[in-house]
Amino acid sequence: MPAMTTQRLTTISHHIDDEQGLHPEATGEFTSILNDLTLALRLISRDVRRAGLNDVLGLTRDTNVHGEQVRKLDTYSNDVIKRAMQRSGHICVMASEEDEEIVVTDIVNNRGKYLIVFDPLDGSSNIDVGVTIGTIFSIYKRVDLTSDEAGSVEDVLQPGYKQEAAGYALYGSSTVLVYTTGHGAHAFTLDPTIGEFLLTRENIRTPKRGKYYSVNEGNYYYWSENIRQYVDYIKTPSKDKSRPYSHRYIGTAVADVHRTIIYGGIFMYPADSKAPNGKLRLVYEANALAMIAEQCGGRASDGQNRILDIKPNNIHERVPLFLGSKEDVFEAEAFFMGEHPLQQIL
């Protein structure tokens, strides 16, 4: 029997309770929402682990609002999360990358104070080949807490700095859940034999600078000259050996971001001539990942602005993303804006 590596045995439910203790005004609603969510994540993890044996691999006949082909596991995960989140009655509205419109919940007693937005299955192209995939989520309070009206699009279109909680699950070599309520970001590993998430990394800290860069370099031809210069720069050997950086790219944002926040370096999906706003979605992907990155001491920007300050205009809008170690992201931003001192001599 391998040694247990956790120092103290803290389950995710213990941790959520402890975090609630930091908010004397808390009523327990938020705790109940997070517990419902972890149930959905455990169910998805179970089915991902058996993928190939059950009937969850392959495509459906549908195309989603982003023009992407929908896979069975996208649909399944989307349904599981929605079903789990309706239970508590504390959620007034949900928005999912896989649904064209917002999903208003609890129509009869429409009084939930919170809303959840999510990417049910991130890394769709990796599902059928056994490569890491994930789920991303953000929880907000509704804009008007005294409202008797149904939850609305306005509730969903809040800037990321208003997130009450955010996180992701990673279905990789193990299932890992990282979440924050604004008091640091913490990682839990699912013990599948008992169905519990146990604390494995408390208060994750991202190194100030890293040695890895993560980007789909197949888009090089479509990038702006500034982005090309930045990537050329981090690949060019330097006398102090801090460069070249090593390249890592899984093609699942959650997995590439998770590695980046733990090892340091930079993950990016810049805009390009094919995708003028980049590929990732502000509401379902970038905001949650940015909150986690900041809670770990890192930075997340669109090349100029902090991601968390951007007010979304559309629930499905896309945004360029530069995320990771502070010094690396600042350097990428300097190149992006054509202000890096070495840029002129490259």
Sites of contact with ligand AHG (CB under 6 A): 68, 97, 119, 122-125, 216, 251-253, 269, 279
In degrees rounded to 5, what are phi and psi of residue 140?
A: -125, 160
**Which CA distances in Å does 290 have to 3, 84, 129, 158, 307?**
34, 25, 28, 14, 7
Q: What angle do CA 99, 105, 30 make, to 5 degrees?
A: 105
Least distance to ligand AHG from the beta carbon of 309, Å? 22
Bridge partners for 11 per DSSP:
198
210 touches, from ligand AHG, Mn ion, none (C-beta below 5 to 8 Å by class): none
Least distance to Mn ion from the beta carbon of 142, Å? 24
How far, in Å, CA of 287 to CA of 125, rounded? 22
Least distance to ligand AHG from the beta carbon of 332, Å? 16
199/250 with CB nearer ligand AHG: 250
Residue whose tokens read 């890491």 = 132
123/160 with CB nearer ligand AHG: 123
199/257 with CB nearer ligand AHG: 257
331 is a contact residue toward Mn ion (CB under 5 A): no
How far, in Å, CA of 328 to CA of 323, rounded? 9
252 touches, from ligand AHG, Mn ion, none (C-beta below 5 to 8 Å by class): ligand AHG
Neighbour tally for 65: CB within 10 Å: 13
| Among 19, 36, 47, 119, interactor with Mn ion by CB under 5 A | 119
The continuous run of DSSP H or E covering 138 comes out as strand 133-141
Q: Which span (3-11, 52-60, 114-122, 139-147) binds Mn ion, by CB under 5 A? A: 114-122
Bridge partners for 278 per DSSP:
276
234/261 with CB nearer Mn ion: 261
Least distance to Mn ion from the beta carbon of 126, Å? 11
Least distance to ligand AHG from the beta carbon of 64, Å? 8
| Among 36, 122, 256, 328, interactor with Mn ion by CB under 5 A | 122
How far, in Å, CA of 86 to CA of 115, rounded? 11
Residue with the CB atom nearest Mn ion in the bound state: 122
Least distance to Mn ion from the beta carbon of 74, Å? 6
Least distance to Mn ion from the beta carbon of 115, Å? 19
238 touches, from ligand AHG, Mn ion, none (C-beta below 5 to 8 Å by class): none
How far, in Å, CA of 298 to CA of 292, rounded? 8
How far, in Å, CA of 303 to CA of 332, rounded? 7
253/315 with CB nearer ligand AHG: 253
Does residue 212 sit in helix, strand or coil? strand
The number of residues that bind Mn ion (CB under 5 A) is 4
How far, in Å, CA of 191 to CA of 134, rounded? 17
How far, in Å, CA of 184 to CA of 203, rounded? 5
68 touches, from ligand AHG, Mn ion, none (C-beta below 5 to 8 Å by class): ligand AHG
Q: Which residues bind Mn ion (CB under 5 A)?
A: 97, 119, 121-122
